[in-house]
Structure 1
Amino acid sequence: MAEAGLRARLRRRRSLRTRVTIVASLITAAAIAGGIVLLYLLQMHSVRRSVDTQLKTYIAQIAQASPTGNWPHPLPGSSLDPAAQAQVIAADGTVLAATRGLAGVPAAFTLPAGSSRPVRLKGADGVIPDDVGVAAIRQTVNGRPVTIVAGTPTGILSAIDSEFTVHLIMGFPVILALAAAAVWIVVGRALGPVEQIRHAVTDITSADLSRRVPEPGTADEIGHLAETMNQMLARLEDSVLRQRRFVADASHELRSPLAALRTTLDVALAHSDRAPWPTVASRAADQTARLERLIQDLLRLAKADEHTLVGHRQAVHVGDLVRDVVSAAPVRALTIDIDIDLAEDVCLYGNRADLGRLVRNVLDNAVRYARAKVTVTVVATPDTVRIHVLDDGPGIPAGDRERVFDRFVRLDASRDRASGNSGLGLAIAREIASAHEGRIWAADTPEPGAHVAIELPRLSRSLTVDG
């Protein structure tokens, strides 16, 4: 058990560089050794083929030298290989002629019928060494079948074998060591940026996400990794900053109605015998309602952050939705002229309550700032539905048209706080539009005032409208 645990710890301690070096070194050394073996086999094949060609050429020279069967004694030597020896053997095994080195020696080889490979006979023992290359050809000379056998020592093959074995045994460790050193250096340089990235990431904490990992400036996988990590850190930093800002703003917004509620109650309790309790209760109810709306808005944004904002979806008739929202407009809308221009038979697919909240938030914002008139227009295309809400109020400065959709943003903070506006309405509207695969933006308008446009995917006529 202890030995197994030690092996497990050693495996865990092996770095990627070590593992890559070991594997790559073994593969490289094996490849080089395989190449050497292949070269050895090719060289041996070439030597054997050369020897066989020389012997067959020598045999052809012997056959051509005695076309009548009058063989010279001794047979002439080979012009290609002075060490070559030959015998001319009759069909009954009698040696008809031989070179000087095989004079008086019985037949050393025979050529079986149907074979091209000579077979060694006992007559060769003690006379012809084992490492000899042999070739034989069966011919008919002057009407008499004979076998001409030629052979030559092949000590070069043994020398090649010995040399190859020695060099392979001695060279393989050297090759392995050189390959390991080369791979270690190359992998170390390749993984150097990764180690720098690791150290940089180790030093980055949630308290300071502004730091970034070093980018090697290369267009390889490590460069892409560094770029991706920096992009991730940027997103994390932005998310954390938004979360901290959200928490701070939410705390401030919650503190305001709570402080007003407590102040009202404390003053009334301090003078309980003279306090106008109906007025105190009314003010407390107003602050409680404001607090409730703020908490609901915060919960809705929390769902948006968790991508669970949209609940049950159904087909929603846009005209009915807009008319319902306009009829339930805030009290101030009684002094505002709200004109509606609706495209007929236009439907959306989504959560009716959320879509109503989307239009209501935009309409409430327009009513709050309008001087005398608000216009709601629904325009349909084959694929989308656009809802335009325009008012004749002070409008939205061009530099703030994107910022108004951020959380807790008020362009007139003093007045909005007095009216109970938390600065979350348009932020919630954007989240609902995004959850329905749509968008919302502050558009240009030729006349003074604000223009907010909502674009959502249109529902196919084939689906049934509910509600």
Structure 2
Amino acid sequence: MRDLVAGIRARITVIATVVVIAVLGAAAIALATTQRSVLTDSVDEVLTRHAAEILQSWPYSAVDATIPGQGDDESFALLSDPGGKLLASTASPPELRTPPQPAAGSVTYTTVSDPSTGIQFRVRSERAGELVVQVGTPLDDVNDSVDALARGLAVSVPVTAALLALTVWFLVGRVLHPVEAIRAQVADIQGDTLDRRVPEPRTRDEIGRLAATMNGMLDRVQDASVRQRRFVDDASHELRTPLARIRTELEIDLAHPETADAARTTQRVLSEVLGLQQLVDDLLAMARSDRESEPPSATPVDLDDIVFTVVDSLRASHPDVTIRTAGVSAARTYGSRAQLARVVTNVLDNARIHGRAPIDVTLHEHEERVVLTVTDSGPGIRPADAERVFNRFVRLDDARTPSASNTGLGLSIVRSILTVHRGTIAIDTTHAPGASFVVTLPLCRD
């Protein structure tokens, strides 16, 4: 990012400098052109007055046919007839290639040069009746003034552009300084220092929003990293225990084959394998729920159909468990049918494993929510554990009946799925005896 910041700084400086040079250069050309035009127009006015004075003073005496000058030794005036015969002139007029005579009643302005001296003259030619008057004056003052302006601009424009480049370089560096600070901080963040954050400037501009966004991203990365490490640690711990029991059973039989009971060992290993299978299924479900942070499609789902389907399946696999569904009424919500079926299954399994029959299931609509309640008649849950029971790998074995099929993930998976579905799950601590789990979901009225 350091190269990126330096590149941005250089590009902005170069672009700003080029633009300013182009603008100032165009302004300088326009200024010099305007000055020349204004000064030339002033010269033309002087020549117009001089020509008018010559025509008013005509005819001159035959003895002296010299036209009085303008007070400028290099200015000149020529008076001739349409045929080109010189009638009068100022003393010692320059040797110029005078422009052609104008048409009757017309006036022309031209710029000619003296080939011997190189001096430029502004010449006004006018035909008034049978007279042609041509007056001219050197453009030295005009050229000197424009040249002086051009020399000044030739110095001031580069100097101004250089000062601007330095100013832009400094200001852009100040503006991008927080970006460099962000870059340096991000470069130092490693996998074990995800708790560090980039500095946020006090300004609420784009850089401030960039820093806030990056800190938000770091929050999410840290949260994901913590959850991943916790998941790996918990999963490895939970998988190690049943594997250790399986290994112990097999090693004992190998060490003492005379006392080994193959049927008993097979039954115990099968029980552990089934527990491992359930744990792996729950771990995969938990991993999927961690990845799925976007809400599911707004597909209407008949939650009562899911409840009856799950209850029928549970009755078929556990005919000794009494599940009462008299309080289940029609209700619809939004989401994934498969995931919502997992929610109902896990909550009912939790009541079956840890509670005692009968299990009462109710479903009804309340305001803009669908409320599912699963109540058992077991030992219940202490209010102090009402929130902790939803954590991963938590087992309240001292308060509820332990079971080999309990992985400690079922209720955590339920909460993860419901969070994505904009739903909730909580324990009604006022219910006794037994535990009462209350699930709420958005109501669908389509």
TM-score tier (shorter): 0.7 to 0.9
**Is residue 55 of structure 1 aligned with residue 53 of structure 2?**
no
TM-superposition CA deviations, 1:273-307 (whole Å, max 9, x none):
44554443333222211110111121223334454
Structure 1 residues 306 and 344, CA, compared in 2 at 3 Å: closer, same or farther? closer
Could you tell me which amino acid in structure 2 is paired with residue 132 of structure 1?
F
- TM-score, scaled to structure 2: 0.77
Match of 2:343 in 1: 358
Matches within 5 A, 1:286-325: 286-307=271-292, 317-325=302-310
**Is residue 110 of structure 1 aligned with residue 101 of structure 2?**
yes
Distance in 1 between residues matched to 2:94 and 2:158, nearest whole Å: 50
Distance in 2 between residues matched to 1:325 and 1:291, nearest whole Å: 23
Distance in 1 between residues matched to 2:174 and 2:230, nearest whole Å: 42
Identity of aligned residues (%): 33
Match of 2:196 in 1: 211
Distance in 1 between residues matched to 2:151 and 2:294, nearest whole Å: 76
Q: Aligned with 2:314: secondary structure?
A: coil
Deviation of 1:114 after TM superposition, in Å, equals 9.0
Structure 1 residues 450 and 96, CA, compared in 2 at 3 Å: closer, same or farther? farther
TM-superposition CA deviations, 1:75-113 (whole Å, max 9, x none):
56559x897543444332334444456499997662246
Deviation of 1:59 after TM superposition, in Å, equals 3.6
**Is residue 389 of structure 1 aligned with residue 373 of structure 2?**
yes
Q: Aligned with 1:258: secondary structure?
A: helix
Match of 1:151 in 2: 136
**Is residue 132 of structure 1 aligned with residue 121 of structure 2?**
yes
Match of 1:408 in 2: 393
Structure 1 residues 74 and 316, CA, compared in 2 at 3 Å: closer, same or farther? same
Match of 1:197 in 2: 182
Q: In structure 2, which of residues 164, 174, 177 is the aligned counterpart of residue 179 of structure 1? A: 164
Question: 162-171 or 296-305: which moved more?
Answer: 162-171
Deviation of 1:441 after TM superposition, in Å, equals 0.9
**Is residue 253 of structure 1 aligned with residue 244 of structure 2?**
no
TM-superposition CA deviations, 1:194-213 (whole Å, max 9, x none):
22222222221112211222
Report if aligned partners of 2:332, 2:444 keep a CA contact under 8 Å in 1.
yes
Q: In structure 2, which of residues 424, 439, 442 is the aligned counterpart of residue 453 of structure 1? A: 439
Report if aligned partners of 1:341, 1:376 keep a CA contact under 8 Å in 2.
yes
**Is residue 91 of structure 1 aligned with residue 82 of structure 2?**
yes
Deviation of 1:348 after TM superposition, in Å, equals 5.9
Structure 1 residues 390 and 46, CA, compared in 2 at 3 Å: closer, same or farther? farther
TM-superposition CA deviations, 1:168-207 (whole Å, max 9, x none):
5545554454333333322332332222222222221112
Match of 2:362 in 1: 376
Could you tell me which amino acid in structure 1 is paired with residue 362 of structure 2?
V
Match of 1:188 in 2: 173
Q: In structure 2, which of residues 200, 203, 210 is the aligned counterpart of residue 225 of structure 1? A: 210
Structure 1 residues 246 and 125, CA, compared in 2 at 3 Å: closer, same or farther? closer
Deviation of 1:159 after TM superposition, in Å, equals 1.4
Could you tell me which amino acid in structure 1 is paired with residue 30 of structure 2?
L
- TM-score, scaled to structure 1: 0.74
Structure 1 residues 49 and 451, CA, compared in 2 at 3 Å: closer, same or farther? farther
Structure 1 residues 353 and 446, CA, compared in 2 at 3 Å: closer, same or farther? closer
Question: 41-50 or 203-212: which moved more?
Answer: 41-50
RMSD over aligned CA atoms reads 4.4
Distance in 1 between residues matched to 2:424 and 2:327, nearest whole Å: 20
Report if aligned partners of 1:367, 1:391 keep a CA contact under 8 Å in 2.
no
Q: In structure 2, which of residues 141, 145, 170 is the aligned counterpart of residue 160 of structure 1? A: 145
Question: 300-309 or 245-254: which moved more?
Answer: 300-309
**Is residue 39 of structure 1 aligned with residue 31 of structure 2?**
yes
Q: Where do 5+ consecutive residues of structure 1 fail to align? A: 1-10, 461-467
Could you tell me which amino acid in structure 2 is paired with residue 386 of structure 1?
V
Deviation of 1:243 after TM superposition, in Å, equals 0.8
Q: Aligned with 1:149: secondary structure?
A: strand
Could you tell me which amino acid in structure 1 is paired with residue 438 of structure 2?
V
Match of 2:19 in 1: 27
Report if aligned partners of 2:425, 2:437 keep a CA contact under 8 Å in 1.
yes
Q: In structure 2, which of residues 301, 325, 336 is the aligned counterpart of residue 339 of structure 1? A: 325
Q: Where do 5+ consecutive residues of structure 2 fail to align? A: none
Could you tell me which amino acid in structure 2 is paired with residue 338 of structure 1?
R
Report if aligned partners of 1:109, 1:119 keep a CA contact under 8 Å in 2.
no
